[in-house]
Amino acid sequence: MKVLVTGGAGYIGSVCGEELIRAGHEVVVWDNLSEGHRSAVPPQAVFLQGDLADRDLLQRAVLEHRPEAVIHFAGKALVPESMRDPSSYYRVNVMGGINLLDAMVSSGCRKIIFSSTCATYGLPEKMPMDEQTPQKPINPYGHSKLVFEQVLAWYAQIHGIVPTCLRYFNASGASAERGEHHRVETHLIPNVLLTALGQRKEVEVFGENHATPDGTCIRDYIHVKDLASAHILALAREKPGHFNVGTGNGYSVKQVIEVARKVTKKEIPMRGQPARAGDPPALVASSHKLQRELGWKPNHSGLEEILTNAWDWHRAHPNGYAD
């Protein structure tokens, strides 16, 4: 298939591009390089630099390249930033997405796989969470993604768009060539590994009094290669759907640091900090629906494999894509 990958220069998008090409698909990347890196784009892909806000350019690109499907990664994805600057989350994640859908409608492209998030659920009452969990986000990031899921449902009804919403839990790990490099790093695992590399003095642990066994937040870490395979399986779907993508296993911040110490054989000092605004104490997925309906399996998502792959990538690229 010819697939337009928005955000294909970013962390998850670039690994997915790599896996799409390996599976024999043709990839066209659309990315404004605000977070992504040109050198993360697989060399076999066509690269178009553009912003989702640029409706005309996007429309022309879709009409020219005529993708058969779109995988829509481009967007803003940081909870704390969304609590300070909600406006950019609605502009990029909602308006940008609408521009993309309108371009798809005008070119007759119907299939879209959308990067949604467990942050659309908010504070779930039962764990692990399945897709029936009420969606009550507690931060603008989660809300902006929920709004776009709802926009997709209407475009499905009115324009015949076929959306698959993949609600990611915590993407992590690396492929042999591509890993996680944000210009301002806020994510736990890269921060832990940058501390192991000596680039940071200590890991800040946000909140030690959450309602969890050791008081630190629990997340479900999913290997980026397993996330990529969920997208590739979803390309074959012919009807709309919503799926969680996680492992069903949750690890606390302190447990992640403990396993990272074992993998890296480094001390990794840590220091308690106040909880971050908008952070749910625990988010763990039930992915039974994805396993049942798409035949997906998490093959690489043990925490030790995730940390080992991420550590190998960080050691090989101590300055990320700036090398």
Which chain residues interact with ligand UDP by CB under 6 A? Answer: 79, 170, 186-188, 191, 203-206, 217, 219, 253, 276, 279
Q: Show the tokens assigned to 194.
A: 């940058």
Q: How far is CA 79 from the centre of its chain?
A: 13
Nearer to ligand UDP, 47 or 121 (CB): 121
Calpha distance 257→248 (Å, rounded) = 19
Minimum gap (Å) between residue 119 Cβ and ligand UDP:
7
Query: What residue ranges in 179-292 does DSSP mark as E strands?
Result: 203-206, 218-219, 221-223, 241-245, 251-252, 270-273, 282-283
CB of 170 to ligand UDP, least distance (A): 5
CB-nearer residue toward ligand UDP: 51 or 185 = 185
- H/E run at residue 22: helix 11-22
Would you say 42 or 320 has its CB closer to ligand UDP? 320
Write down the catalytic residue from 141, 168, 221, 251.
Answer: 141
- Residue closer to ligand UDP (CB basis): 47 or 148: 148
Question: Nearest approach, Cβ of 197 to ligand UDP (angstroms)?
Answer: 14
Q: Yes or no: say if 141 and 117 are a contact pair by the CB < 8 Å rule.
A: yes
The beta strands (E) that lie in the chain are given as 2-6, 26-31, 46-49, 69-72, 111-117, 162-168, 170-172, 203-206, 218-219, 221-223, 241-245, 251-252, 270-273, 282-283
The least distance separating ligand UDP from the CB of residue 234, rounded to whole angstroms, comes to: 21
Task: Mention every residue, 6+ apart, whose C-beta is less than 8 A from residue 233.
Answer: 294, 295, 296
Q: What 3-state DSSP class applies to 8?
A: coil
Active site residue 90: no
The catalytic site residues sit at 141
